[in-house]
Structure 1
């Protein structure tokens, strides 16, 4: 294989690895199941069961309903991503060991976006023991887009990932205390990942006769890669009495493979999720407290595999190792049943980062705090409208990224910066029992 072809294949594989993984960071694990969940930072969501959306967190909780219930709504996610104090070391800077100074990159705060994630849930009790449910919502998704004139272009670009989860579940009530449930998830995902070389990299490629034909070509252009996989979820609910109950749920997420129309395949493991929730209505009051602890198994995310890539090395297969850590969500909330018309709620969550030593400018990740509030208005005895609002505040993170030069093993370019990602989540939902 000639060096020119090797450069193309290796550069694309490196770029895919750098961008795909960051799109699945914990900060972009979408909690888009319900507006009520947004309004309490999802505290207690595996057991509260105030509408049909609970089946997305714990299928056993369907046993808590004695009549059919339907919920439909949407969530908006607006991300505010800031990249500051960035220094870009291009090929000349790297080749001279810093004698050619790094380029200061202008601060940017316009790479975030607003996305809309709809959800729908339906639960139907069959008798006093069994219930079934069907739902659709999103578990993962993000979009960031840097301008074409961004100095460190190979670290910006466009990252657009969407997912859609179709679920079918059933529950069984064993007795007055214990209920169990299980479900199947069909997951569809679509992704677009584009990375172009910076002006400095393009100039360096143009100077070398072996790489001159590559000058100006994108390092990565994967558009509309899609895939479908199947997972499952199980859960249980224990009711101490009518005012106190606990729930536990486990969700298995499959290894996911997506392919674009050029035959490029990306294989990556998605994290398993476990959640424990509690709900306690304080006797002789209008107040309830609820909480959740959620585990997200990002520690299993050891590598991404690629095949049939222009970016493969020799055999058409490329593996990129990563060092990830498991994530945790800790949330607590309160609900105040004001009167027959209004219910008020609030919550707080601390959410830990999936990324550890390896960080990213294109989709930054960090530990986060959630500050949430929401309300329910009862339209009548059978129908409700829910609204939820969350301000998600991320920490500042120091980022250092580099791109190896496949021709000689040196560093082609590198960048250092400080990133911070905040977000605003809002949800609106209609529910009805019948």
Structure 2
């Protein structure tokens, strides 16, 4: 019974990794286009330099005079490390319990490399109406600890992906105001696996063994493989002062995705898992200050407080996340008819608050971005964007176990984590 209760607590701990590395706050992805990546997504809800703008604001489609298509991908390479780390493994010693201290400092190779594709098509119908379709991702994550990682209940394998398949429409009211709205069909996939191990230092006669005769027992605490669909939506508005100055505002409703499949935990089994996604709002500005130069900026708000409880296999995992977001500034230099250069900076605020995890090295982050557009001809171009993402050292203190009287019994980890990343995007755009 004691072991069962301890393993059930392990599930609660394991659930806290459902939002591991995605290289933005929480498990958000900022990877909708190579163009945006090259300017740290500053001004992306209003610039409208190619069809990918509809991912941030559907009202920008009203600014297109010709059919426009963009196709690309972003490669995200994460570098996650643990330093100054100690894992206190649970040790069973008959009627007594203890802990076996294990050094986990220097653990690396936790991050992953992911390729995130995107596609956009904007079709003007007349001077007022336009429609578009899109495929891209707003959320995703992936971490994988090595099989020999000692604190396996705090680590393990996490893979969560989502894909947005969108259809949008825009309407231009006059020379200043444009509006847009769209529906998103969101497909989500979740794969999670966690193990718990402890040292057994007693034999069948309940006799305590010496340390060198203790054996390690391993149990599967969590094994999830599920997927599902949900429907979301977005609205937006663009206000154009003139050709050189404009503002954009958008809001995205994100649903709770119910993923169906195999959801197995030591606390019980189920056939589905609910994953709440946050709403987002973004304001952007664009100002062409000179024939050769434009400045732009964005402020984004993400309702991470909506991610309050995760239900899985009869377990409810509560979170203490906070609303977050980012602010970004950038500049575009129009070098000549062939080349456009851009750069940007973003400060991204972490979604986690007081509760930290070694599998969620979520911290405030800085984005240093640069990119360019090469115009192949008057109708087609290639975009390249790159970002170096700098995280902060984060102190983590986690405990997993139960209370027996006034005494906590279980296992714990204390460590300093850090997550950096390199993002590279490539994109082809064409008008027809």
TM-score (norm 2): 0.90
Q: Distance in 2 between matches of 1:385 and 1:69?
A: 13
**Equivalent residue number for residue 420 of structure 1:** 418
The change in CA–CA distance for 1:145 and 1:406 in structure 2 (over 3 A counts) is farther
Is the CA contact (8 Å cut-off) linking 2:90 and 2:199 kept in structure 1?
A: no
1:280 is the counterpart of 2:287: yes
**Equivalent residue number for residue 220 of structure 1:** 222
Residue by residue over 1:357-405, the C-alpha shift from the partner in whole angstroms, topping out at 9 and shown as x without a partner, is 1111123100000000000000000000000000000010001112124
Q: Distance in 1 between matches of 2:26 and 2:420?
A: 9
Note the C-alpha offset of 1:148. 1.2
After TM superposition, the structure 1 stretch with the greater mean CA deviation from structure 2, 267-276 or 47-56, is 267-276
How many residues align structurally? 415
Is the CA contact (8 Å cut-off) linking 2:6 and 2:401 kept in structure 1?
A: no
Note the C-alpha offset of 1:225. 1.1
**Equivalent residue number for residue 188 of structure 2:** 189
After TM superposition, the structure 1 stretch with the greater mean CA deviation from structure 2, 241-250 or 398-407, is 398-407
Q: Distance in 2 between matches of 1:90 and 1:208?
A: 23
Is the CA contact (8 Å cut-off) linking 1:130 and 1:173 kept in structure 2?
A: yes
The change in CA–CA distance for 1:128 and 1:302 in structure 2 (over 3 A counts) is same
Is the CA contact (8 Å cut-off) linking 2:20 and 2:158 kept in structure 1?
A: no
**Equivalent residue number for residue 304 of structure 2:** 298
**Equivalent residue number for residue 351 of structure 1:** 348
Is the CA contact (8 Å cut-off) linking 2:6 and 2:410 kept in structure 1?
A: no
Is the CA contact (8 Å cut-off) linking 1:391 and 1:425 kept in structure 2?
A: yes
**Equivalent residue number for residue 277 of structure 2:** 270
The change in CA–CA distance for 1:215 and 1:64 in structure 2 (over 3 A counts) is same
Residue by residue over 1:58-78, the C-alpha shift from the partner in whole angstroms, topping out at 9 and shown as x without a partner, is 000000001100000000000
Q: Distance in 2 between matches of 1:292 and 1:176?
A: 23
TM-score (norm 1): 0.89
Picking from 316, 321, 325, the partner of 2:318 is 321
Is the CA contact (8 Å cut-off) linking 1:94 and 1:413 kept in structure 2?
A: no
Is the CA contact (8 Å cut-off) linking 1:206 and 1:215 kept in structure 2?
A: no
Report the secondary structure of 1:261's partner residue: strand
Report the secondary structure of 1:14's partner residue: helix
Is the CA contact (8 Å cut-off) linking 1:87 and 1:417 kept in structure 2?
A: yes
Q: Pick the structure with more strand per residue.
A: 2
Report the secondary structure of 2:335's partner residue: coil
**Unaligned regions of 5+ residues in structure 1, if any?**
313-317
**Unaligned regions of 5+ residues in structure 2, if any?**
207-215, 264-269
Is the CA contact (8 Å cut-off) linking 1:27 and 1:366 kept in structure 2?
A: no
Picking from 389, 398, 414, the partner of 2:386 is 389
Listed as ranges, the matches of 1:112-131 within 5 Å are 112-131=111-130
The change in CA–CA distance for 1:208 and 1:282 in structure 2 (over 3 A counts) is farther
Q: Pick the structure with more helix per residue.
A: 1
Is the CA contact (8 Å cut-off) linking 1:60 and 1:180 kept in structure 2?
A: yes
Is the CA contact (8 Å cut-off) linking 2:93 and 2:200 kept in structure 1?
A: no
Listed as ranges, the matches of 1:172-187 within 5 Å are 172-187=171-186
**Equivalent residue number for residue 335 of structure 1:** 332
**Equivalent residue number for residue 77 of structure 1:** 76
Cα RMSD over matched residues?
2.6
Note the C-alpha offset of 1:215. 4.1
Is the CA contact (8 Å cut-off) linking 2:26 and 2:304 kept in structure 1?
A: no
Is the CA contact (8 Å cut-off) linking 1:267 and 1:305 kept in structure 2?
A: yes
Is the CA contact (8 Å cut-off) linking 2:385 and 2:424 kept in structure 1?
A: yes
Is the CA contact (8 Å cut-off) linking 2:20 and 2:141 kept in structure 1?
A: no
Note the C-alpha offset of 1:203. 3.0
Listed as ranges, the matches of 1:43-192 within 5 Å are 43-92=42-91, 102-192=101-191
Report the secondary structure of 1:153's partner residue: coil
Q: Distance in 2 between matches of 1:80 and 1:208?
A: 48
Is the CA contact (8 Å cut-off) linking 2:92 and 2:201 kept in structure 1?
A: no
Q: Distance in 2 between matches of 1:250 and 1:205?
A: 59
Q: Distance in 2 between matches of 1:363 and 1:16?
A: 11
Note the C-alpha offset of 1:329. 0.6
After TM superposition, the structure 1 stretch with the greater mean CA deviation from structure 2, 92-101 or 401-410, is 92-101
1:360 is the counterpart of 2:362: no
The change in CA–CA distance for 1:205 and 1:228 in structure 2 (over 3 A counts) is farther
Q: Distance in 2 between matches of 1:293 and 1:94?
A: 55
Q: Distance in 2 between matches of 1:42 and 1:95?
A: 58
